Amino acid sequence: MPFKLEPDEAVAEGIRRIAGEQIDAALREIAENNPGDPETVHAFRKRCKKVRGLLRLAHGPMAAEGMFRVENDAFRDAARDLSAARDADVLLATYDALADWSNGAMNRCATAPIRARLTDHRDRLHDATVAGVSGQLEDAAGFLRRARQRVASWKIDARGFKAVRPGLLRTYRAAYAAHERALALPAAELLHEWRKHVKYHRTHMRLLQRVTDPSTAGRNEPANELGELLGDDHDLAVLRRRISVDDAAFGGIAARWTFVSLIDQRRRGLQTEAFGLGKTLFAEKPKAFVKRIGKEWIGESG
């Protein structure tokens, strides 16, 4: 079934159903795909993030039972253990995306040492970790099987909108506040923090779009676009830090300066787009937003 709560199901049943479906899908992906393929790792991490977003929606009743922190930490740690190889791939992809965006402004001959160094880093990390990743994915599968058994015991006593209201408010409030902080000081760390909360908010909009007014579904795509803009900005910030550590290794100071200038130019454009979207998405105060969603609720009655 889709990654959405259904109007004809109890909220507690829907949350357990969706969690089980994500875990089952992750187990299939690990079993069917090549453990040495970074996309296998990426798919597993995405499933963990979806479950963590789901847990945040059920934060109210699950936190009251002491289950939220246990499960959230477990899925966070499982995904974090499989991050290094994927991160190296992202750095290389970010270089290529910037080159394409520059539309010829980047001197690829001058910046070739940067790409060569990133490629070498990716290849060395991949060769060193492919065997380890296979073992880590076996451990991940074991974790998933144990988590799958726990899902049935998740205690969610509240019904209808009452079951999701605290989690929805908590996540929207965090995204709203992170937006305000990033507006005041668009530092890379604050923008990345905003992105994380935006991604969780988008997950909630996906989960709720069939049990609320259509306006909820209308927030899904803008929230996704905002998350992508902030994600691209974060990747560029990481790349900038990476090539700043050693001028000689990355082609000398002249090549690095030109490349960094392009990064900064691209980031300014991404941030301008992001703040424009954020102004619309987070125009409502948190309590007003959640109150409106509650009025539009068409799912299980409380």
Kindly report, residue by residue over 105-135, the tens digit of the pLDDT: 888 888 888 888 888 888 877 766 666 677 7
By C-alpha distance, which of 158, 128, 139 is closest to 44?
139
Instruction: Take residue 154 and report the two structure tokens written for it.
Output: 């998740």
Tell the CATH topology of 11-295. CHAD domain (1.40.20)
Report the C-alpha gap between 169 and 194 in whole angstroms: 16
Per residue in 233-247, pLDDT (tens digit) is: 999 999 998 887 765
Dihedral (CA of 272, 274, 279, 285) sign? negative
pTM, two decimals, is 0.91
Angstrom distances, CA of residue 203 to CA of 5, 47, 220, 278: 12, 12, 8, 16
Per residue in 179-196, pLDDT (tens digit) is: 999 999 999 999 999 999
- Report, as an integer, the average pLDDT of 261-279: 97
Per residue in 272-283, pLDDT (tens digit) is: 999 999 999 999
186 close to 225: Cβ distance less than 8 angstroms: no
Per residue in 54-93, pLDDT (tens digit) is: 999 999 999 988 899 999 999 999 888 776 667 778 899 9
Report the C-alpha gap between 49 and 18 in whole angstroms: 13
- Report, as an integer, the average pLDDT of 161-173: 97
The predicted structure's pLDDT at residue 214: 79
Q: Is the pLDDT of residue 164 over 60?
A: yes
- Taking the domains of the chain in order of start, what are their residue ranges? 11-295
Helix (H), strand (E) counts: the chain:
11, 0
User: 3-state SS string over 69-135?
Assistant: HHHHHHHHHHHHCCCHHHHHHHHHHHHHHHHHHHCCCCCHHHHHHHHHHHHHHHHHHHHHHHHHHHH
